[in-house]
Structure 1
């Protein structure tokens, strides 16, 4: 067992010509640079190993020549299969110059392939990639002409077309952790992410391959907490101790305990972004944020959406996520991208894509480089420049709603926001709304068929994908439709009812977006049945956390009740409603006031015994008629029985046989 602990050169010396080598890493997080340096050193000195196949999900590299860029050497690499390429520019250049066979597959599919290789399945079966450049009918993810083997095919199951990504053996897995014992058990307590280290190690091990782990520390046998072990020793063949200081947490940060969830940090001091075109776009995108929703924000302009949400005090109402496994907290940018502070949970990357692919995201806000008349988006390939899809295809295709964000043109664009209006100082030289995108990373027509809401937000206008194509729906104040929009597009969008973008977006003051979104959400949760004179309110999963929220509830409820003009029977669903204790008294006082003025009866239900107790104590008194039930069925049955009783009483009264009031009338 002690033979597992070796030098980097000894471990890398076990790699053979022609091996398929997978490497962990998301930018610099989890990237085993000590092992890659040793591989580079061996090849440059001995000319071996040769003709490797490199396999990677995210792009483990850059920060100027680090990660896989170190081993992008002619003769060393024969083939590369990767999810994201923009951070491995040296390897990408070899691919676009036809020097190696190369594939770009969706990042989430790459993550799932590790599991399927480990389980000896035939491949990964999924809808992810349909209608994009990964679809075998549109190239199958092949990057260049010298790449001939088909890794993706289509399969018909029950009349539905699926994409099938076939597996291949992994001979070597290069992974990174924090601590190892002599048996090879690996923990990751100082890592910002766990990524696919476990799945990749299992895939290589079950392919009769070799697993090499780079770590910071080696401890005695039996001292690791088994619950902290991410990669068990049965999967690990060799352990390499990194040199002191040679394993930074990210390429941008040597070590931040907040990235590894060892500390929490205050986020109230976030820098307020200047009111420029990026903030204008981010503000308009922020109007689409679903309170209580789960969200993914891409890099670039979408990162500013997070800053706007912080400025508008929306973060407590949202759950932000990042594709390498982050749930909650605040994702970071730049060379720290992938890390996050104050996370709620950290999943393996393949698990995160299970969640994403299954529709777990309420909203994705992503960048856009090219858009065409069909609403197709390209972010992956631009002539000789290969960015790769990364997680974009998984995320954009499966989110319940997607918002693409970016400037209207590129290349020298200069704008000014002044006096609540947008002014174009210098127009960009490159059009982004083109007749046909160079590569389809997102298929607008497929989204329309599926009924997925899609928005395209720029600083000067907003488009929406409708069944007929791309429709222009909003234009910024100060912008001329013909001169500033239509003249800089290669196609004519659908133009019907164009309205002005919200003027508050172009003013320096806070938008008060939390109130705007909260009240919009409330209005969408009210339903009035005039025939039964019943108002149904759905507070399921909603958060009422401040006195401003209480006032919003009062304002929205009172406006609707006054428009009805008479008292109504109220039914409220409180299942999963989060009511902060600090404002509970104010909320219930408001609810009692509304009840006395606008409701002939009030029926509330929730499966939470604690909430039923709170509601009963606060709202049931001698002066009001309020009923608390456990389920919707019980609540509606009670209201129906009361209504039927009232009808019977009315019939009896009209017949003069119903009771004291009829007798009094006759008397």
Structure 2
């Protein structure tokens, strides 16, 4: 048979001016560098294709590659995605109103692809109510250019309850990735770190009579692939592009061309984490870890959660007794960070992206640990807009609105905070320039009111104070030894709080060198 293999130039020929182009990736996992580079080169040479709508579910860059190749205002007129924290060129274009920008939640975008594939006009969920996704606030329109147009999100009512309806976005062309293709276009992913939403996206594209392009490393005769290893069937594939230099344009992750540890083919020996220095960030991590219990299903966000919860749990000897998960689909093992966020060493399982979010939005997560850039007195949190720059929400809203317990981990102030431990007491040597507890948020990414209505347990952990969320807003529940409430806490907050009638001191072991000896207390949960 003729087969579906084409040169990259032929594949890109199908993209027309004004098309909606959908991509599938997570940081640099799944990035189709060969195809994206060809689109960029062609636009710079001929200004074609142009005026595209770029659609993607997760953050899809490592600051240099991925969607950064498409960051030209003439090439793209509208972008619909969830996160641009590792896409500096896109942050600039969005901030400067050079492109119409819509930020939707990562999980709902993956579900939207799947529902579009099934012929539905969109997807609906409670995810996003009370946040900037809610059309009563911003409707996901994150710059002035987007606010000139209708929101992609509607408020609807089903059986007397409010939901958000995420409208379909018809797709003309999608670009996805696999490891091996046969002549019919059957695609396997044996060397990919993640499966992501490739199948849902391909099926959604075919639903709109669009064209599916797949970038692969290998091309083989039809009938030679194991049928159960096929992730995307040839019925959903139009063109196959075989890369010439897989080290450069088909890297498994940003940091490595290929490592079998990330596919589950090999298990890396995991030595104990080196003990972290006892600093402000570790204090936050230590107090946060004290919320854990045996066999808890845990989700970790980036920043202090990703950097501290795993290492501190290892130091305390409890890491193997909790279940770490990542929204990309990895379950178990040791999640990676930075530009490799989304993959896991020694994962127990790697499932498809939309199904991981089914588990998350179905309240499968016991505890999620997230950062917090700004927090107000009502317990609302902003992690998606910093000054004039919008990085987006990623999967934060899907996860935080549905986890049984949400633990926000943050330093009390930012921008120069210096603190030391003297004789077991925390001493603030230099206060940060930026107050993180404020009256006005740049954006609402987490709604304290919504959490209260849904009986979620919410904890805000800092190095000097621990707050919980009550009916009236923030409640000061714990104070670090050596900290004065008026001088060190209230004077460095713009928002108000209530002092608990049962105010406690943070456990002294948090502020001592060596282990906290938390393991015995940890296992008491199972006895109770």
Shift of 1:145: 1.8
SS at match of 2:54: strand
RMSD: 1.2
Q: TM-score if structure 1 supplies the norm length? A: 0.77
Alignment of 1:651-666 (within 5 A): none
| Distance in 2 of aligned mates of 1:114 and 1:386 | 24
Higher alpha-carbon deviation: 105-114 or 379-388: 379-388
**Does 2:509 correspond to 1:508?**
no
| Distance in 2 of aligned mates of 1:82 and 1:13 | 24
* Per-residue CA distance 1:244-298 (angstroms, 9 max, x = gap): 2221111122222111111112223323221111111111010101211111011
**Does 2:444 correspond to 1:443?**
no
Quick one: which of 394, 405, 412 aligns to 2:409? 405
Alignment of 1:102-113 (within 5 A): 102-113=101-112
| Distance in 2 of aligned mates of 1:214 and 1:514 | 47
Quick one: which of 358, 368, 374 aligns to 2:372? 368
Is 2:20–2:54's contact at 8 Å kept on the other side of the alignment? yes
| Distance in 2 of aligned mates of 1:72 and 1:356 | 31
| Distance in 1 of aligned mates of 2:378 and 2:496 | 11
Shift of 1:3: 4.7
* Per-residue CA distance 1:541-580 (angstroms, 9 max, x = gap): xxxxxxxxxxxxxxxxxxxxxxxxxxxxxxxxxxxxxxxx
Q: TM-score if structure 2 supplies the norm length? A: 0.97
| Distance in 2 of aligned mates of 1:310 and 1:191 | 28
| Correspondence for 2:434 | 430
| Distance in 2 of aligned mates of 1:215 and 1:513 | 48
**Does 2:101 correspond to 1:98?**
no
**Does 2:392 correspond to 1:388?**
yes
**Number of positions where the alignment pairs a residue of Structure 1 with one of Structure 2:** 522
| Correspondence for 1:532 | none
| Structure 1 outlier segments of 4+, above 3 Å | none
* Per-residue CA distance 1:576-628 (angstroms, 9 max, x = gap): xxxxxxxxxxxxxxxxxxxxxxxxxxxxxxxxxxxxxxxxxxxxxxxxxxxxx
| Correspondence for 1:537 | none
SS at match of 1:184: coil
**Does 2:63 correspond to 1:30?**
no
| Correspondence for 2:423 | 419
Is 1:290–1:363's contact at 8 Å kept on the other side of the alignment? no
Shift of 1:100: 1.4
User: Which structure ranks higher in relative contact order (CA pairs < 8 Å, sequence separation ≥ 6)?
Assistant: 2
Shift of 1:220: 2.1
Is 1:290–1:362's contact at 8 Å kept on the other side of the alignment? no
| Structure 1 segments unaligned to the other structure (5+ residues) | 524-667
SS at match of 1:138: coil
Alignment of 1:338-357 (within 5 A): 338-357=342-361
Quick one: which of 305, 325, 347 aligns to 2:309? 305
Is 1:17–1:48's contact at 8 Å kept on the other side of the alignment? yes
* Larger Rg computed on CA atoms: 1
| Distance in 1 of aligned mates of 2:317 and 2:346 | 16
Is 2:3–2:185's contact at 8 Å kept on the other side of the alignment? no
SS at match of 2:419: strand
| Correspondence for 2:206 | 205
Shift of 1:321: 0.3
Alignment of 1:505-654 (within 5 A): 505-523=510-528
Alignment of 1:218-297 (within 5 A): 218-244=219-245, 245-246=247-248, 247-297=250-300
| Distance in 2 of aligned mates of 1:418 and 1:352 | 44
SS at match of 1:154: strand
| Distance in 2 of aligned mates of 1:506 and 1:146 | 49
| Distance in 2 of aligned mates of 1:453 and 1:108 | 22
| Distance in 1 of aligned mates of 2:304 and 2:374 | 15
Is 1:331–1:338's contact at 8 Å kept on the other side of the alignment? yes
| Distance in 2 of aligned mates of 1:271 and 1:59 | 30
